[in-house]
Chains A and B, each alone.
Chain A
Amino acid sequence: MAHIPNLDNAAINLTSLREQSQRELITILRNIRGKKCLVIDPKLGGSISLIVPTSILKENGAELRYLSSDPLQTECNKVVFLVRNRLDLMKHISSNIQDDIQKGLQREYFVYFVPRRSVACEKILDEEKVHHLLTIGEFPLYMVPLDEDILSFELDDAYKEYLVEGDSSLLWHIAKAIHKLESSFGVIPNVRAKGKGSLRVADILNRMQAEEPVSTPHAGIPEIQTLILLDREVDMVTPMLSQLTYEGLLDEILHVNNGAVELNASIMGVQQEGKKVKVPLNSSDKLFKEIRDLNFEVVVQVLRQKATSMKQDYSDITKSQTVSELKDFVKKLNTLPEITRHINLAQHLSEFTSKPSFLGQLDMEHTIVESESYDLCFEYIEEMIHKQEPFLGVLRLLVLFSVTNLGLPKRQFDYLRREILHSYGFEHVVTMTNLERAGLFRKQELKSNWLTIKRAMRLVVEDNNTANPSDISYVFSGYAPLSVRLIQQAIRSGWRPVEDILRLLPGSHSDTKRGGFSCGISSESLFGGSTNADKLVDGRRSLVLVVFIGGVTFAEISALRFLCAQEGMAYDIIIATTKVVSGDTLLDTFVEKLS
């Protein structure tokens, strides 16, 4: 399937990055002669499908299975497990193997860890007495390009594990991924970080550079000039809000997964009961590229316009005589499937957006962001709980409410927690603890400074023209994502002008310059100030790598793309993230699941 996005227009050579991963995977398969059963960790399946078409895996003798605790069904006597180095997956591997042993099957087993071997995983395999049966290897896949400007580390639960359990493995992973990028594109001279995790990543990155210096083959001119690291904890407000861009809404309602949505065939106008279709969503689809970042209201208009002009053309064609006119028309007809596809999707989305509950939710989000009426917000959330509305939706507002207020007074905090346990079950005592530890829903200890932040960063923009926007606030119809505002600052002038505001946000910040060899020490003279460094001598646009630790939403991505497209902006942005998230998927990692 053509789900693998086209990366030809990327600002750095992401194609070579992807091809390298592709080669590595194919080499692994080729080195294991003959037919083999490739057992993939289900969470990896998506990443792999963005790198190698399944057909190529099959060509190399691989029969595909997904890893589970169920016995492995295959005729092959070579079994290759391709798994993330997560502890919980090891039991599946050992149970698969032990099942074979019981059945008296003799097979050759290989375990390839993504992205690298892990002592703890191997310890479990050892204790399960299967380690000696395995040939162990690594598939160093640290990131996957999702699109021309998006790289994902595909770390689903790692941010929650970091915030709640203190397992900081993801920070090393992120630093390693950036270090890998640097080995292809040169050492990034400017590093600006905000938030605890970001600073640690910058620190580990410097260590890696000291340990294994990147030798710059590009005669000292790095392809990426600035690295901005942003810990999601700095801005938990934005992901809690309902995204209003086309792609954002698609994610909120249909859940975009690895650059595609899966939905009922009937929605796409195919009359087949119960059948699911997968619709790829990336820049290879020209129309999607045009409308993905627009506010959904505008998308509807654009699609209507396109349809109307098509209709006009169709009526004109009966009168037209020349072959060239016919040709033009036929060319336009080729875009018809795309238009139909997006009209179908938009139609489906507007069924949701026109619901009073959706509008009410938006209304409430704005009220909370504006910090307008505390009691009203409280009662609204309370009512949602009483009505047992979908749990994640409730949590989103709750977290938004708690974060903007720096927590809730103890009485109300306990009250809402109790109402949640009563309504959704006592198992969520763990969910509540997780959210509390992550600082997402907690007791109020300090007075909120949200109003100051909101005002200083101009987060709420009253007059906004969604059709012809002049500011990033269009992505939430009037709210400018705090994260993107910070990045805007960091690119333009560094942290210094907003230091006062930064201090009000979680975690500290840093701004360092790194040379090819010495690092960590700020040496202004080397690049003569940040503003000059951003502009390259040869007129090329300078490149900024923005890394979100803890996830980024499509709405924020759209806002960043909007920034790049502004006149007078001399930079391109590449976004790297632990995962593309929505409020639902982000909070879902914190929810206790009784499997």
Chain B
Amino acid sequence: MAATNAVAVAAEWLPLGNRYYRKPTLYTMKWKHIDLSRNKLACAPFGGPIAIIRDDSKIVQLYAESALRKLRIFNSAGVQVSESVWRNPGGRLVGFSWADDQTLICIVQDGTIYRYDQRAEIVGPGASLGRECFESSVVECVFWGNGVVCVNERLELFCVTDFERLGRDEGAVVKLPDVGLDEMPHCVAVIEPRFTESESVVVLLGVGDGLVVIEDGEVHRVGEGIGPVQKMVVSRDGKMLAAFTHDGRLLILSTQDFSRIIFEHECESALPPEQLAWCGMDTVLLYWDEVLLMVGPLGEPINYYYDEPIFLISECDGVRILSNTSMEFLQRVPDSTEVIFRIGSTEPPALLIDALDHFDKRSAKADENLRELRRRKALPEAIEACVDAAGYEFDISRQRTLLRAASYGQAFCSNVPRDRFQEMCKTLRILNAVRSPDVGIPLSIQQYKVLTAPVLISRLINANHHLLALRLSEYLGLNQELVVMHWACSKITASLAIPDPALLDILLEKLKLSKSISYAAVAEHADKSGRRKLAAMLIEHEPRSSKQVPLLLSIGEEDIALTKAIESGDTDLVYMVLFHIWHKRPYLEFLGTLHARPLAQDLLIAYAQCYKHDFLKQIFTTTGQSEEVAFVLWKESWELSKNPMASKGAPLHTPRLKLVEDARKLFAESKEHNFESKAAEEHAKLLRFQHELEVKTKQAIFVDSSISDTIRTCIVIGNHKDALRVKTEFKVSEKRWYWLKVFALATIGDWNGLEKFSKEKRPPIGYKPFVEACIEHDEKNEALKYIPKLSNPREKAEAYARIGMANEAAEAASQAKDSELLGRLRMSFSQNAAASSIFDALRDKLGVS
């Protein structure tokens, strides 16, 4: 059986030189009545969608169909995804192609570019190739991944390197340098920017009997004499060019050096093929009516015959062949597959497959095979080959056979990495899922690896296969958020008829799936789709205030935005809302909004305090906080004093005084600010007084000092009369007066004056200030005049101690009967043994009594 099985597999292969090729059928097309020959086609690589539109350059008979042309989009299995009527003005459709992000780029004669998504709906801003193309029609365009090169009737060339930039960016369309053509080039090809040294696109034109190369703004003629090139195509890696000449030769040229012909093949037909395509890196396909010729570097070319029109779709590892009825995949038979299924193969993996076959049939030969494999120590290698080969299969039962063989082998072999097997199963599951005709993405394993899982998922999303995309993300441990988000947005777009609350419920149910979902982003989409109410409901669910608040502002929900910002505790967000609504609302309404929101109001005030003083006063006036206005005015009065110009002029009319007066009046408006009002009154009075003093003494030493300082200054400069005036004027208490005068006299060392002052009358707070002032100025003898007059023995003791008179201190302390005091004094006399003993003795006495 195994042998026949292998034979059956290998029977499908055709050899080309030393390699085999096969073309398994991927799908029998689900579509009906599609005749490729009547239509223009655009097929996306990586198993992408197929766009079909009736070819308006051909005369075709209409059957039971509308005369209007339809753009129809199918998946690779021929299941229709969408369609729309083509009504675009601008002349014939010159060319169309799928860009990398699977938007369909359509270019019409007048240079207009239409972009369609997979739902056959126009997307993005309208764009044009420019005036030159509008005036003289586009006649040819050659696409690559994300760009196109066009030729117009005037034989000018234009290039778009990134479709994303179209319509947004002036420089998206670049006019290429003039080549000086006098007729249409025979053919055009491009080398993608990512394969060129200059990293800009290289355009190849078949002109005369050679080629013209346009690269980086320069034009060269190359390959003169290779013969007029009728058709050409660049290999997938940009390194080689396949060119078909007028005399029926297929040339393979190096794109580094066009004069170097790597390979040449004489074809039977001198007529250029309808289609020319690379299959992998080493063979070229040429298609004429009914014949597909595959030319390789070695051996005789293979001829495939078709009785219906076909369309070649180049992939990185082969070519997909689309016909009216089926889709095939032409590829080189992978190494591992070849080793297993080659007729008569006795390589280890073939033996392993055979062993499994015998095992299934309960034949002892299974054991024999295994022994042989172990003897050759080839089991791991065999397992690996089976796993590898399974990956290349499109047929599920064959995948299973190969994997079972691998698994069977693993049972006898402990040192093969198991994760390789698991990984392959996982990959195959994914591939089989997306290959199913409903999804219709016939990716080979190599294509899948090049495309990567995240891109596959985003393509599924774009094709509206959200559930599968979600499952895949989950299965692969990728972020599901993207899928859910896209689903939600598509749902909103597609659910115009569903009322907001119902739609919200539907959305929330799914949005809950992902923890970090951005409700704000979905809400933004809802808002853009004209569903502001739904947007507002969605934002409610956004936990991130930093996302929620700006969005609420953008949909005009300013009050809610302010509330949310305040709740978040993020003062920056509060400011954001404040500045947003500040100038949008009438002033009073604006302040009204803030009224019940102390944080917002406080922040506005903090800002105004720092930056807009006048506005600050305005706020307080409006909110009726006249005392706050008073404080602002009062503070300004000091700021004025920093300005030297302000203090000049008549004292009563200085702007400072006016500010203080104004502040006083405002304070006086309410009883609660009686204290401040009085203080302001006194301040104004003091300023006048100080000004007067400065005029009188011709010294600028008074303004902005306190009342106490003014008194001191007066005394220090010997102006006792004015000192006394200040005292009476400001009702300075006797207590304070004594301290101030004593300290001032001590400062100037007027000890006689001090003594005289002490004798004026009995000081109301005793002689303590006199003693302190003297001690502080180290005037021991002066101090001794007053210490005996101290009434408090404790103070007396301390005073004596401070001037170092231990005996007197001890005596006074014993009068105070304070043992703690004695202890402290003893400490301060600790250097003095005699004094210490006196304190000890006294303390003992106290301790006993």
CA distance A430 to B663 in the complex (A): 13
Interface of B, secondary structure class, is helix
Asked if A116 and B602 sit within 8 Å, CB to CB, the answer is no
Q: Which of B30-38, B79-87, B99-107, B563-571 contacts A (4 or more CB under 8 A)?
A: B563-571
Nearest A-chain residue to B635, judged by Cβ: A430
Residues of A within 8 A of B631 (CB): 430, 433
Residues of A within 8 A of B572 (CB): 116-120, 169, 172
15 A-B residue pairs with CB within 8 Å: A119-B579, A161-B606, A166-B601, A167-B602, A172-B569, A172-B571, A211-B544, A212-B544, A418-B678, A419-B736, A423-B708, A425-B704, A425-B709, A426-B686, A427-B638
| B705 at interface by CB-CB < 8 Å | yes
Asked if B706 and A423 sit within 8 Å, CB to CB, the answer is yes
Nearest B-chain residue to A173, judged by Cβ: B571
Asked if B568 and A386 sit within 8 Å, CB to CB, the answer is no
Residues of A within 8 A of B569 (CB): 168, 171-172, 175, 200, 203-204, 207
CA distance A169 to B569 in the complex (A): 8
Asked if A429 and B676 sit within 8 Å, CB to CB, the answer is yes
| B115 at interface by CB-CB < 8 Å | no
| B798 at interface by CB-CB < 8 Å | yes
Residues of B within 8 A of A426 (CB): 679-680, 682-683, 686, 706
| A390 at interface by CB-CB < 8 Å | no
Asked if B568 and A204 sit within 8 Å, CB to CB, the answer is yes
CA distance A383 to B766 in the complex (A): 13
Residues of B within 8 A of A356 (CB): 798, 802
| A450 at interface by CB-CB < 8 Å | no
Asked if A387 and B575 sit within 8 Å, CB to CB, the answer is no
| A421 at interface by CB-CB < 8 Å | yes
Residues of B within 8 A of A595 (CB): 642
| A10 at interface by CB-CB < 8 Å | no
Asked if A354 and B675 sit within 8 Å, CB to CB, the answer is no
Asked if A211 and B545 sit within 8 Å, CB to CB, the answer is yes
Asked if A165 and B683 sit within 8 Å, CB to CB, the answer is no
Interface bits A210-239 vs B (CB < 8 Å: 1, else 0): 111100000000000000000000000000
Asked if B576 and A119 sit within 8 Å, CB to CB, the answer is yes
| A457 at interface by CB-CB < 8 Å | no
Q: A169-B571, A421-B682 are in contact. List 9 more A-B contacts (CB 8 A).
A: A116-B572, A161-B606, A211-B544, A211-B546, A213-B515, A388-B709, A423-B736, A424-B706, A425-B706
CA distance A200 to B709 in the complex (A): 45
CA distance A563 to B64 in the complex (A): 94
In the A-B complex, the 6 residue pairs with the smallest Cβ-Cβ separation, listed nearest first, are A166-B602, A204-B569, A87-B610, A425-B706, A426-B683, A422-B707
Asked if B739 and A387 sit within 8 Å, CB to CB, the answer is yes
| B732 at interface by CB-CB < 8 Å | yes
Asked if A422 and B704 sit within 8 Å, CB to CB, the answer is no
Nearest A-chain residue to B612, judged by Cβ: A127
| A276 at interface by CB-CB < 8 Å | no
Interface residues of A in 418-451 (CB under 8 A from B): 418-419, 421-427, 429-430, 433
| Least CB distance, A588 to chain B, in whole angstroms | 18
Asked if B575 and A386 sit within 8 Å, CB to CB, the answer is no
| Least CB distance, A445 to chain B, in whole angstroms | 14
Interface of A, secondary structure class, is helix
CA distance A204 to B545 in the complex (A): 11
Interface residues of A in 86-112 (CB under 8 A from B): 87-88
Asked if A388 and B611 sit within 8 Å, CB to CB, the answer is no
Most buried by A among B570, B605, B635, B675: B570
| B735 at interface by CB-CB < 8 Å | yes
| Least CB distance, B709 to chain A, in whole angstroms | 8
Residues of A within 8 A of B824 (CB): 359
| B517 at interface by CB-CB < 8 Å | no
| A594 at interface by CB-CB < 8 Å | yes
Asked if B635 and A388 sit within 8 Å, CB to CB, the answer is no
| B598 at interface by CB-CB < 8 Å | yes
| Least CB distance, B573 to chain A, in whole angstroms | 8
Asked if B704 and A211 sit within 8 Å, CB to CB, the answer is no
CA distance A88 to B642 in the complex (A): 18
Asked if B571 and A87 sit within 8 Å, CB to CB, the answer is no
| Least CB distance, A424 to chain B, in whole angstroms | 6
Selected contact of B736 from candidates A118, A210, A386, A414, CB within 8 Å: A386
| A124 at interface by CB-CB < 8 Å | yes
Residues of B within 8 A of A433 (CB): 631
Residues of B within 8 A of A200 (CB): 569
| Least CB distance, A111 to chain B, in whole angstroms | 15
Interface bits A129-173 vs B (CB < 8 Å: 1, else 0): 000000000000000000000000000000001000111110110
CA distance A442 to B575 in the complex (A): 32
| Least CB distance, B659 to chain A, in whole angstroms | 12
Selected contact of A354 from candidates B683, B686, B735, B828, CB within 8 Å: B828
Selected contact of A388 from candidates B545, B602, B682, B708, CB within 8 Å: B708
| B634 at interface by CB-CB < 8 Å | yes
Residues of A within 8 A of B546 (CB): 211
| A417 at interface by CB-CB < 8 Å | yes
Asked if A166 and B598 sit within 8 Å, CB to CB, the answer is yes
CA distance A88 to B683 in the complex (A): 28
Asked if A172 and B708 sit within 8 Å, CB to CB, the answer is no
Residues of A within 8 A of B21 (CB): none
Residues of B within 8 A of A414 (CB): 675
Interface residues of B in 657-672 (CB under 8 A from A): none
| Least CB distance, A389 to chain B, in whole angstroms | 10
| B587 at interface by CB-CB < 8 Å | no
Residues of A within 8 A of B678 (CB): 418
Asked if A207 and B545 sit within 8 Å, CB to CB, the answer is yes
Selected contact of A594 from candidates B638, B686, B828, CB within 8 Å: B638
Residues of B within 8 A of A386 (CB): 735-736, 739-740
Nearest A-chain residue to B571, judged by Cβ: A169
Interface residues of B in 603-645 (CB under 8 A from A): 603, 605-607, 609-611, 631, 634-635, 638, 641-642
| B543 at interface by CB-CB < 8 Å | yes
| B179 at interface by CB-CB < 8 Å | no
Interface bits A379-414 vs B (CB < 8 Å: 1, else 0): 000110011100000000000000000000000001
CA distance A371 to B215 in the complex (A): 93
| Least CB distance, B634 to chain A, in whole angstroms | 7
| A123 at interface by CB-CB < 8 Å | yes
Interface bits B403-428 vs A (CB < 8 Å: 1, else 0): 00000000000000000000000000
Given contacts A167-B571, A386-B740, contact A87 B611 (CB under 8 A): yes
CA distance A383 to B739 in the complex (A): 9
Nearest A-chain residue to B570, judged by Cβ: A172
| B46 at interface by CB-CB < 8 Å | no
Asked if A165 and B607 sit within 8 Å, CB to CB, the answer is no
Interface bits A184-218 vs B (CB < 8 Å: 1, else 0): 00000000000000001001100100111100000
| B599 at interface by CB-CB < 8 Å | yes
CA distance A354 to B602 in the complex (A): 46
Residues of B within 8 A of A127 (CB): 611
CA distance A116 to B676 in the complex (A): 39
Residues of B within 8 A of A169 (CB): 571-572
Residues of A within 8 A of B515 (CB): 213
| B743 at interface by CB-CB < 8 Å | yes
| Least CB distance, A167 to chain B, in whole angstroms | 5
Residues of B within 8 A of A172 (CB): 568-572
Asked if B798 and A167 sit within 8 Å, CB to CB, the answer is no
| Least CB distance, B210 to chain A, in whole angstroms | 47
Interface residues of B in 516-575 (CB under 8 A from A): 543-546, 567-572, 575
Asked if A123 and B579 sit within 8 Å, CB to CB, the answer is yes
CA distance A387 to B545 in the complex (A): 54
Nearest A-chain residue to B544, judged by Cβ: A211
| B195 at interface by CB-CB < 8 Å | no
| Least CB distance, A442 to chain B, in whole angstroms | 12
CA distance A203 to B678 in the complex (A): 43
| Least CB distance, A355 to chain B, in whole angstroms | 10
Most buried by B among A171, A356, A417: A356
| Least CB distance, A472 to chain B, in whole angstroms | 24
CA distance A423 to B709 in the complex (A): 7
CA distance A332 to B291 in the complex (A): 99
CA distance A210 to B602 in the complex (A): 27
